[in-house]
């Protein structure tokens, strides 16, 4: 058979040992390691921005100011204060029965603006007047008796003792009349003190008491009021501003100023340094400067917050009608690839914004386009800050 005649030698197991090449395995390890290094380097450069330390920056606000504001030698904040102001109370104590003014009313000096209950005082005045009449009647009798005793003494019909007694009675009645007159006058003054009068020409600022409340000149308590109204002379308004001790040498008497009320930021009032208080506040390291208005309107009210610009001689020549400019510090402006740019912060990254600049005002630059009033930009831009740089706002 053919199967029997087959060569069985082909069915032998090959027990020869295959040759081993160590260099082949080493090459594979080096290849794998090199691939991992390349991948790590690529990932490092891809993920590097995510782990880079953020640049610390501060923001500044783009604001609209006039040229004189920008060129001011010093700026200070303060409040409008009436230099003539009073909390008006009565000289007596009593229940308020009439109040003739409300907030905003203009009053004249010595005008009656309130009245306290005085029924008991009027009763005492009536009694004092009655006593005075009684003493005046007694005086007539005492005077007649004294004159009669003098006549009798001259004729020898009366003794010196009787004359002296008549004279003493007469003088005693005169003294009693003087006391009674003083008592009447005292009661009249007490009644007058129940009338509350305006101490000067001015405007009522606040109403501090209501009808029916007790008013006391000694001060307010849980059951009484110290004053019925607070009033001020609106022609005595000045701005009281605190100036740092380190800058006080920049202030001189009658120095020109500009006053801008926070309530009306678009309106400028001309002012001047009226007084430099000759003492400092040790807790704040400031000196108070009073700035008077050269002129003002009825928009200016006591206790309004204000900003005072202390002008230099050069600034006073600036045209006040010149239009305000949108400005930022020069340190916020950068040049990249021939373009003027600023940086805003968005999603914790610096984003460059191209801008168009205009006039320069000392350390500030006018921005004509690119950003708007109130926008916040990075201050003190360095070469380390570029578009997309991770930043941390301080």
Closest among 296, 92, 115, 323 to 190, alpha carbons compared: 92
More confident residue, 66 or 339: 339
In a domain, 50, yes or no: no
Which residue, 184, 215, 232, sits at the end of a domain? 232
In a domain, 44, yes or no: no
- Band (pLDDT 50/70/90 cuts) for residue 340 is very high
| pLDDT beyond 80 at 157 | yes
If you write DSSP's letter for every residue of 319-382 in order, what string do you get?
Answer: -TTSPPEEEEEGGG-EEETTEEEEEEEETTEEEEEE-EEEEEETTEEEEEESS-TT-EEEES--
Same domain, 171 and 305: no
| pLDDT beyond 90 at 119 | yes
Task: To the nearest 10°, report the CA torsion of 39, 44, 45, 51.
Answer: 160
In a domain, 1, yes or no: no
Same domain, 269 and 289: yes
Predicted pLDDT of residue 64: 83
CATH number, domain with residue 111: 2.40.50.100
For 356-381, write each residue's pLDDT tens digit: 999 887 788 999 999 998 899 999 99
What's the mean pLDDT in 334-340? 90
Same domain, 228 and 100: yes
Instruction: Report the chain's mean pLDDT, rounded to a whole number.
Output: 86
Same domain, 241 and 297: yes
What's the mean pLDDT in 23-35? 65
Distance (Å, rounded) from C-alpha 39 to C-alpha 41? 5
Same domain, 288 and 340: no
Predicted pLDDT of residue 279: 95
- Band (pLDDT 50/70/90 cuts) for residue 21 is low
In a domain, 151, yes or no: yes
In a domain, 22, yes or no: no
If you write DSSP's letter for every residue of 268-311 in order, what string do you get?
Answer: -EEEEEEEEEEEEETTTTEEEEEEEESS--TT--TT-EEEEEE-
Q: Considering just the CA atoms, what is the radius of gyration of the chain in Å?
A: 48
What percent of the chain has a predicted confidence (pLDDT) above 90? 56
Same domain, 216 and 272: no
Predicted pLDDT of residue 265: 79
| pLDDT beyond 70 at 227 | yes
CATH number, domain with residue 335: 2.40.420.20
For 257-306, write each residue's pLDDT tens digit: 999 999 987 788 999 999 999 999 999 999 999 999 999 999 999 999 99
More confident residue, 234 or 163: 234
What's the mean pLDDT in 210-221? 80
Same domain, 113 and 124: no
What's the mean pLDDT in 208-218? 88
Predicted pLDDT of residue 316: 46
For 138-153, write each residue's pLDDT tens digit: 888 888 888 888 888 8
Predicted pLDDT of residue 24: 59
| pLDDT beyond 90 at 8 | no
Same domain, 210 and 157: no
| pLDDT beyond 90 at 22 | no
More confident residue, 202 or 38: 202
| pLDDT beyond 70 at 62 | yes
Same domain, 143 and 251: no
More confident residue, 361 or 7: 361
For 312-327, write each residue's pLDDT tens digit: 765 444 455 567 789 9
Structural domain for 77, as ranges: 69-84+235-316
In a domain, 6, yes or no: no
| pLDDT beyond 70 at 29 | no
Predicted pLDDT of residue 317: 46
Tokens read off for 273 = 């340094």
Q: What is the number of structural domains in the chain? A: 4
Predicted pLDDT of residue 98: 96
Which residue, 232, 260, 280, sits at the end of a domain? 232
What's the mean pLDDT in 173-186? 94
Same domain, 186 and 259: no
Predicted pLDDT of residue 321: 57
């Amino acid at each position: 058979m053919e199967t029997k005649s087959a060569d069985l030698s082909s069915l032998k197991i090959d027990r020869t040992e295959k040759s081993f090449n160590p260099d082949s395995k080493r090459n594979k390890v080096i290849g794998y390691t090199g691939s991992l290094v390349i991948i790590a380097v690529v990932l490092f450069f891809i993920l590097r921005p995510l782990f880079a330390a953020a640049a610390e920056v501060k923001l500044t606000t783009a604001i609209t100011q006039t040229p004189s504001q920008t060129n001011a030698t010093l700026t200070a904040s303060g409040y409008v204060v009436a230099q003539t102001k009073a909390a008006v109370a009565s000289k007596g104590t009593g229940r308020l029965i009439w109040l003739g003014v409300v907030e905003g009313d203009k009053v004249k000096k010595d005008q009656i603006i309130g009245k306290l209950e005085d029924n008991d005082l009027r009763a005492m005045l009536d009694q004092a007047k009655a006593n005075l009449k009684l003493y005046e009647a007694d005086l007539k009798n005492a005077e007649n008796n004294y004159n009669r005793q003098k006549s009798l003494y001259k004729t020898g019909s009366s003794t010196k003792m009787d004359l002296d007694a008549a004279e003493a009675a007469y003088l005693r009645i005169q003294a009693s009349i003087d006391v009674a007159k003083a008592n009447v006058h005292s009661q009249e003054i007490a009644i007058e003190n129940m009338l509350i009068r305006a101490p000067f020409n001015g405007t009522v600022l606040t109403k501090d008491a209501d009808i029916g409340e007790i008013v006391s000149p000694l001060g307010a308590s849980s059951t009484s009021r110290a004053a019925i109204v607070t009033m001020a002379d609106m022609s005595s308004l000045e701005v009281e501003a605190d100036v740092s001790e380190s800058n006080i040498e920049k202030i001189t008497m009658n120095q020109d100023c500009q006053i801008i009320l926070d309530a009306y930021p678009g309106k400028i009032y001309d002012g001047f340094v009226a007084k430099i208080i000759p003492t400092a506040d040790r807790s704040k390291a400031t000196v108070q400067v009073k700035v008077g208005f050269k002129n003002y309107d009825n928009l200016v009210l006591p206790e309004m917050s204000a900003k005072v610009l202390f002008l230099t001689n050069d600034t006073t020549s600036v045209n006040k009608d010149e239009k305000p400019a949108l400005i930022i510090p020069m340190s916020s402006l950068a040049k990249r690839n021939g373009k003027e740019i600023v940086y805003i912060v968005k999603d914790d990254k610096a984003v460059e914004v191209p801008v168009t600049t205009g006039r320069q005002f000392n350390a500030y630059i006018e921005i004509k386009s690119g950003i708007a009033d109130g926008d916040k930009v990075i201050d003190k831009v360095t070469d380390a800050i570029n578009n997309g740089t991770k930043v941390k706002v301080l």
